[in-house]
A = this chain, B = another copy of it.
Amino acid sequence: MTADHTAQDTPLRDYMAGLGARARAASSQLSRVGETERTRGLNAMASAVDAARGEILRANAVDMQLGQQKGLDAALMDRLALDDKRVDAMAAGLRTVAGLDDPIGRELARWTRPNGLDIARIACPLGVIGIIYESRPNVTADAAALCLRSGNAAILRCGSESLNSSTAIAAAMRDALAGEGLPADAVQLVETNDRAAVGHMLAGLDGQMDVVVPRGGRGLVSRVQDEARIPVIGHLEGICHAYVDASADPQTAIDVVFNAKMRRPGICGALETLLVDRSVAADLLPRIARPLLDAGCELRGDEAARTHCREMEPASEADWNTEHLAPILGVRVVDGLEGALQHIRTFSSGHTDSVIAEDQAVCERFLAEIDSAIVMANASTQFADGGEFGMGAEIGIATGRIHARGPVGAEQLTIFKYVVRGTGQTRP
């Protein structure tokens, strides 16, 4: 199976416009389909991916060979690689989404006006969602599934290195949809490596794409946020903070900070900056630092922090502004809650920030005043995840100000309309 059979023969603009028009038509068909059909479609997609594993693994082998020729680094090659276990996980992921509550048609509010008009706010799909992602081929299945669960048509733009794998996965899912009488075009892959295709998506495909979701590194997200002419759901970076208050339980502080940084230092919910109340820094900072240093974490402290822990490197101003995504942690001594709030307001990227304190008044003020997508008390920032929130699956974390913030699951891929039922009312 080769990937770019279609686009190479067709001018890019027409090709992209065709994707948009077919997605819009599929979205319109999907809006007339019920929960049962969407669930059946998702289960059929799972079975199809399972059944097509031969084709998928062969296509992946082509991608892996091309990747080796291009000299992709080991981390990228690992993300790209598929094997039976990963195909199993992909099919299982599709079945998980099939089992999620269907968010469409929910009655979000309903009231009756004095004139008898019955007004209901009803959840409905966003429409056509573009997803632009990088090397992991499983995103092809995950993103398509969440879009279908929420009644949306998906236009998927994978990383160039996974185009063969993603094409095979998408083909299996499209066949499954058609087999269930659902529109195959609810799932479309951009089958070209032409980088200009992304530009068409960011321009909104002449009104045929409603929102774009970037999933990947800073370079990708930054380009999408800068160039998109349609709404973007996503986040650029996660500069997450933990503030250890004077009232903190020491063991909680030690455990939560260690977990927040070291469980997986490379995820967006990983801790990047630790703030410690000056009044307990002498006692607590060395005890928090010890296990981090022992685990190979580099600590970069301000002057006050370094007086309490000589093994810290000096922090520069840039450290407060940097998402390291690595075992590196900025450490700063602050003057109580007020100092922590001020630091976080200045440097937070609005992703996830946590307070560690036994004093409930301190916790509640932190939770009320820090304006991030997720604020936590006495919990690891690594919980910033749709699965951990109980959403079943997520398409990412949003730090924008409108539509949705935090983990974006099927429910967040919906909007609403008003349904007004009357008995002949006219407006005076």
Contacts and interface: CB of A to CB of B under 8 A. Distances in A.
A138 interface: no
B374 A417 contact: yes
Interface string A402-428: 111110000000011111111111110
A252 B249 CA distance: 69
Interface stretch (A178-186, A305-313, A322-330, A365-373): A365-373
Interface stretch (A10-18, A54-62, A380-388): A380-388
Interface in A211-248: 211, 229, 231, 233
Q: Identify which of A367, A402, A405 gathers the most chain B CB atoms within 10 Å of its CB.
A: A402
A113 B379 CA distance: 13
Contact of A374 (B258, B369, B375, B418): B418
A211 B373 CA distance: 17
Contact of A375 (B390, B415, B418): B418
Given A382-B427, A390-B111, A420 B256 contact: no
A259 interface: yes
A124 B124 CA distance: 23
Contacts of A400: 231
Given A345-B28, A390-B111, A420 B211 contact: no
B32 A378 contact: no
A255 interface: yes
A416 B405 contact: yes
Given A256-B424, A256-B426, A423-B378, A389 B405 contact: no
Main secondary structure of the interface of A (DSSP, over half): mixed
B378 A417 contact: no
A282 interface: no
A170 interface: no
Nearest to A379: B422
A133 B427 CA distance: 26
A93 interface: no
A417 B416 CA distance: 19
A20 B314 CA distance: 34
A418 B389 contact: yes
A369 B404 CA distance: 25
A367 B107 CA distance: 13
A377 B249 contact: no
A401 B211 contact: yes
Interface in A100-141: 111, 113, 117, 119, 124, 126-127
A425 B263 CA distance: 13
A198 interface: no
Contacts of A190: none
B383 A406 contact: no
A44 interface: no
A158 interface: no
Q: Identify which of A256, A258, A422, A423 gathers the most chain B CB atoms within 10 Å of its CB.
A: A422
Contacts of A383: 117, 420, 422, 425, 427
Contact of A378 (B126, B372, B425): B425
B382 A417 contact: no
A378 to B, nearest CB: 4
Contacts of A417: 371-375, 405-406
Interface in A345-379: 345, 363, 367-369, 371-379
B420 A369 contact: no
CB-based closest 6 A-B pairs: A379-B422, A259-B426, A252-B424, A210-B401, A382-B427, A376-B420
23 contacts: A28-B371, A119-B389, A210-B402, A231-B401, A252-B424, A255-B424, A256-B424, A256-B425, A259-B427, A263-B426, A367-B421, A375-B418, A376-B420, A377-B422, A378-B424, A379-B425, A380-B425, A382-B426, A383-B422, A383-B427, A389-B418, A404-B415, A405-B418
